[in-house]
Structure formats: C-alpha cells, structure tokens
Structure 1
Amino acid sequence: MSRSSRITAFIGSPMDPRCLGTPLMPRLATLGLLMVLGGVLWGLARAPDRSAALAELGDSVEARQSIAAWESLWSELAERGVAALNPATNDASRRAAGDTVFMRYRNLWGPIDDDARLAFQLAALSGDPARKLALIEPLTRSENPLIRFRAHLELARLQRRLLDFEAARMAARAALAVPDLPERLSADAWFILADSAWEQDRLDEAEIALNAAIAADPGFWDARRLRLEVLARQLARPRQTGAVCLDRTRRMIEDLGALPTLAEDQTQFRDLADRFARQDTMPHVALALIVGLGYRWSGDTERARVILENAERLHGQLPHGCERLILKRISGLLEPASTPGQPP
C-alpha cells in the first residue's frame, strides 16, 4: 500500500462507511465549543482586578459590596475630583459643628410650650449642674416626643461635660428610644454615644455609632472628624477582614474629602494630613494613602509623592486583599497624569 493510500485508509475516504458514522457538523460543533471554552478560560486567567481582589477578600456578599463601593468611590473621584466627596447639607437648622460642646442645633425644635421653653433656657443659662438637671429631668416625661427627645439629649450632653460617660450613654440611648422622630434628629444622640465610647476606648461601639450619626446627617463635621480618628485606630488593630479594612479606608477618604468643605476651610486638607503624618511611624498603607491624598488635595504634590512612594514598605500590616487594592490606587496616583490637573 502506498503512503497516500495508508493515509486515506487511516482518516477514511468520503465513500468509506467509517466516515458516515462520524458526521462533519457535530465534529465542527465540538471544535467550536472547545474554542469558546478556551477563550473563557483565557479570559478567566486574565480576569479584571475585581475578580482577583474578590478571591483575596473572600467571595462573600460583604466582600462584593466592599469592592463595589470602593470602585464607585474612585470612579467618582476620577470624574469629579474631590468635589465628589462634598456631603449634602440641605438642613439649614443644623450647624456642621457645635459652637459649644455638642450643641449645634439652630431653630431645630419649632414651637414648644412656654413652660418647656423657659426650662430649657434657664438650664442653658445656669452654671450649676445640679440646677440644670433639676430643670431638664421633668421634661423627659413630656407628652410631646420632641420635647422628651431634647430633654434626654440635653441630659446626655450635661453628663458628657461632667465626664460621666455611662450616664451620658444611658441618656443618649433614651433619646434614641423616643418613637416617631425624624431620622435626622438622631445624629446628635448617636454622636454622644460615639464620643462616650471613644473616651472609654470602646472603638467598635464608637465606629458603629459614628456610622449611624453620619448616615442620619452627612453634614455632621464633628462626627466625621471623630470617625477619622476612630477608623485610624481601628485599621491598626488585628483581626479585621479584608472587606472591613477596605470599608474603613473608604470611609476615611470620604471624611477627609468632606471636612474642609463643611468647615469652609480648604487648609484643613493639610492640617489633617499633618495630624496623621506626625505619628512616629506610618503604621500601614491605608494611612499612607489618607496622608498622601490630604497633601495632594492641599496642593502639596511633592509631599504627597514622598508619602505615597514610601507606602510599599508598609505592606504586611493589613489583610492582603485590602492592601493590594490600596497599593494599586497608590500606584495609580504616582503615575503621571494624562492631562494637567487630572483628578483625583
């Protein structure tokens, strides 16, 4: 048998009955399926960073939400710059920060009866804590929920000033327990809970309460400023998940961007960066990112570059997946902008 005959016998000729048992179309379909599968596998091997980060953070609902919020933040910054972090402040009755300790409302309560108004006014004017308590305490039993809420809130403020943190927390919780109040009114009570927890080094409680205060009132300067401190401490603690680490870093960026706008003082970018840069050693890459952004948004791009360039040596202090995403953003900030003044 010739060589060509042997080849023909092996693969079968068109008239060979063996060929009729293996139709051409199914073989082509199988080949096409294999090609598609190969393309899918190649795509998975080169999956976007979100998939890689998700694998490192853990494929959970919490991780997916954290990554989505993180990427949304940076998309907003890329589109609008730091202006994307300006919080909505459409409540003219609230100051962003207290003009005295924990007092920032202005014409908040509307009309109240004359006796209650007089009691609140006399309590505010009195310098005697016992006298203040005697005037305010009966108002905690008022039938008017707004008066009852304000009385509990004033008691919480008073106990906080007296450094009785447990009594302050109890009064703040009583204020939050008053039913049928607008959510925005709860922010001050949440803040007193947070501040009291902070003073007692109860960082988890402080973080939860501050998140609630800012959710109720995004324009609350005091709450955002304290949350920066709490989150910086929380990030330095062990035993946090990658998703929690990423959420905390994102919230620090949001607070950093919001505070100067709320205070109408852009020098706060540098003040805040200086505040965290003064630590003896930068503890982790998240804080390096915060400090670098603070200097960058203040206009000191050289100082920002120095901080960010040294961030890599801080790796290993945070969960790996969280660090990876932060370092990727730091690397992007160090790349030359394609156009002058390109955000963030």
Structure 2
Amino acid sequence: MVSIGNAKARSACLGALALAPVLFAVLLGLVHRTEGVPNALGNDPARGSRDAAQLAQAIATWEALWSEIEAHGSRALRPAQSEPGQRPAGDTVFMRYRNLWGAIDPQVRIAFQLAAASSDPERKLALIAPFAQHAEPLIRLRAYLEQARIARRQGDLAGAERAAQATLAVAGVPERLKADAWLILADCAWQRGQGDTSESALDRAIAADPGFWDARRLRLELLARRLEGETQHSAACLERTRRLIEDLGALPTLAEDQTQFRDLADRLARTGPPKTLALVLAVGLGYRWAGDNTRAQATLALGEQVSGRLPARCEALIRSRIDRLLAQDGAP
C-alpha cells in the first residue's frame, strides 16, 4: 500500500490525478468516433444491432426518396392532401378545410366569429369558454384549439400546452383536425429549447395532415438548425436530411408558388454559406429547383469546405448525391 506520507508516492499520485482529465477526454473522443460500432467502449450487442437496423432503414428511405426525385423532380415531393379543396395555409384547420362545420348551430358559429373579430384576449376566451364542454366533439375541439392559440400569443406556454393536449384528447374527430394542436405543442417545445420534443410533435402534425404548410415550414427551420448545430448519429442525420429535402420540395408545391424555392434556399443560407453537407445539399437543391443552376452549382461546390461535421456514413451518402448533382447540367 502506498503511504500518504511518502513524498515520491504522493508525487506519483498527484501526477496520475493530473492525467485523469486528459484520459477521460480521450475516452470521450473514442466514444464519439466509434459511433455505430457494436461493443465499442461498453456498447452492448443489442444496442449495436438496433443502431444498424435504424441506419439500414434510414438508408432505404433515403434511396427511395432519390429514386422519386430522379424520376419526377421536385413534383415527387408534393404531399397528398386530404381533400381537393384543402388550403395549405391558414390560421386553423377550420380555415384550411372548406365547409368543415357543416350544419352547425348558428349561435355557436356567431360566437366563434365574434371571438375571432375581437382584439381583446379576455373577451375571446369568455366567448369560447362555454363551448369547451359542448356535447359536439368538433365544437369542443375548436374551443380548446382557440384557447391554445390565444395562450400561445400571450406567451403562456403552459396554458397553450394544456389546451393543445385537451384538443388532442377530444374523441370522435378525424386525426387530421388535430394537426394544429401538434403544431402548437411543437412551437412551445421549441421555445423551451426541447428540440427532440418539438421535432416529434411536428412529425405528428405532418403525419396527421401532410398538406399542412405551416407545420412543414416550422419543421424545415428546426431540422436545418439541428443539422447545423447538434451532434447526432448517422441514422438521425440521414432521416433529418431526408425530411428537410421533403419539406423543401413540399412547401412551394403546396403554395403553388415556385418562387418559394429561391426564398427558402436564401433563408436556409441567411447566415452565410451552409455549414454542413446536409445544408449544402438542401440549399443547392432549392436554387436548382428555382431554375438558378449557376448558383446551385456554386453552392454544391462548397461541400468540400464543410466535410467532417456530420457522422461519416451520413456524409458519405450526402456527398454521393452532391457529386451526382454537380455532374448534371439540369435539375434532377
């Protein structure tokens, strides 16, 4: 046993303690570099198998996306809408879907119209509150949804979340009508810095209502930020890049405004050149689909400057697509 009073032993102990942070940092670096490798520094085989399965699935959906793009261009990314007359944008689902109310009681309709016209949040809430207990599910849903929107506008995140959760709990209505509640929950989570929760809620909103422009617009922004500033595994990186491209293609086609491709590309690059290969690809596609091949090629060529900032497997697949686009003269 080493004696505490022994000067040489004490010096050796202090030296070992001084090296401990360095060794710990090295181990952390090894953990990051061994992403996806089973049994690396404690990774169990089951975890490695799950990671491999997730990556395989992500690669399959990634390749399927590009098969569609190569066959149909950006038109392949137009999402299916629930009804021919659906509007992609609007304050609520009741604006996006025509004739959603049907044969509603005129007094109920008037109350909601008065609430919408009022600029006083308290008056709005007073007009809406009685309908949160209404026997008709669609009326209850709208009452809760309006309460959630009012709370969010006032900066009351907790109140907005409670009302949005109450909206989701209403039974007997199509799930697509609850997409607005998921959007509100996503926005609240994003304001709290809860990226995973926000992303999951946006996925739910878009799954419920694929033609929901506002949800896709927020998800585009969220995915771009997460791909630019967060550490992630290859499967998550690839899935986020795929959904980013899907939203980039969906937004202008939903709005029937092809000029949005340039606007969205400009917005993604608003703070300067893209900082990751995922953003290079998305911005380059935006300019390409806007018809500006010169700027698209210049953007895609930036890929050489930003390599190494995403997981290696994810970067390799993105790089392959960038190289193919650089070799083409026209839009995919």
- TM-score normalised by length of structure 1: 0.78
Matches of 2:197 and 2:153 in 1, distance apart? 20
Compared CA separation, residues 102 and 129, structure 1 to 2 (3 A): farther
Match of 2:167 among 171, 175, 178: 175
Match of 1:221 among 213, 217, 223: 213
Q: CA-to-partner distance for each residue in 1:76-131, whole Å, 9 max, x for gaps?
A: 11111111111112425642112589954432222222332232122122222111
Match of 2:290 in 1: 298
State the shift of 1:280 in Å.
Answer: 3.0
State the shift of 1:167 in Å.
Answer: 1.0
Matches of 2:136 and 2:173 in 1, distance apart? 11
Matches of 2:104 and 2:156 in 1, distance apart? 29
SS of the residue corresponding to residue 218 of structure 1 reads coil
Partner AA of 2:302 in structure 1: N
Q: Is the CA contact (8 Å cut-off) linking 2:216 and 2:251 kept in structure 1?
A: yes
Compared CA separation, residues 117 and 304, structure 1 to 2 (3 A): same
Q: Is the CA contact (8 Å cut-off) linking 2:77 and 2:249 kept in structure 1?
A: yes
Q: Does 1:88 pair with 2:80?
A: yes
Match of 1:3 in 2: none
Partner AA of 1:237 in structure 2: G
Match of 2:67 among 72, 75, 93: 75
Q: Does 1:261 pair with 2:253?
A: yes
Match of 1:233 among 225, 238, 262: 225
Match of 2:27 in 1: none
Match of 2:191 among 188, 193, 199: 199
Q: Is the CA contact (8 Å cut-off) linking 2:237 and 2:314 kept in structure 1?
A: yes
Q: Is the CA contact (8 Å cut-off) linking 1:94 and 1:108 kept in structure 2?
A: no
State the shift of 1:172 in Å.
Answer: 0.7
Q: Is the CA contact (8 Å cut-off) linking 2:79 and 2:210 kept in structure 1?
A: yes
Partner AA of 1:320 in structure 2: A
- TM-score normalised by length of structure 2: 0.81
1:151-170 matched pairs, under 5 angstroms? 151-170=143-162
Q: Which runs of 5+ in 1 are unaligned?
A: 1-53
Of stretches 320-329 and 197-206 in structure 1, the one that deviates more from structure 2 is 197-206
Q: Which runs of 5+ in 2 are unaligned?
A: 1-35, 39-47
Partner AA of 2:61 in structure 1: A
Matches of 1:83 and 1:93 in 2, distance apart? 19
Q: CA-to-partner distance for each residue in 1:213-241, whole Å, 9 max, x for gaps?
A: 11111111111111110001111233311
Q: Is the CA contact (8 Å cut-off) linking 1:289 and 1:330 kept in structure 2?
A: yes
Q: CA-to-partner distance for each residue in 1:241-267, whole Å, 9 max, x for gaps?
A: 110100000001001111111111111
Matches of 1:144 and 1:101 in 2, distance apart? 17
State the shift of 1:157 in Å.
Answer: 1.2
Partner AA of 2:178 in structure 1: S
State the shift of 1:208 in Å.
Answer: 0.8
SS of the residue corresponding to residue 242 of structure 2 reads helix
Q: Does 1:284 pair with 2:270?
A: no
Matches of 1:188 and 1:99 in 2, distance apart? 9
Matches of 2:119 and 2:197 in 1, distance apart? 31
Q: Is the CA contact (8 Å cut-off) linking 1:88 and 1:219 kept in structure 2?
A: yes
Larger radius of gyration: 1
Matches of 2:144 and 2:92 in 1, distance apart? 18
1:297-316 matched pairs, under 5 angstroms? 297-316=289-308
Matches of 1:202 and 1:113 in 2, distance apart? 40
Over the residues paired in the alignment, what is the CA RMSD in angstroms? Answer: 2.3
State the shift of 1:60 in Å.
Answer: 2.6
Q: Is the CA contact (8 Å cut-off) linking 1:120 and 1:135 kept in structure 2?
A: yes
Matches of 1:102 and 1:183 in 2, distance apart? 14
Matches of 2:69 and 2:236 in 1, distance apart? 21
State the shift of 1:199 in Å.
Answer: 2.7
Q: Percent identity of the aligned residues?
A: 59
1:1-344 matched pairs, under 5 angstroms? 60-92=52-84, 94-98=86-90, 104-336=96-328, 341=330, 343-344=331-332
Matches of 1:336 and 1:154 in 2, distance apart? 49
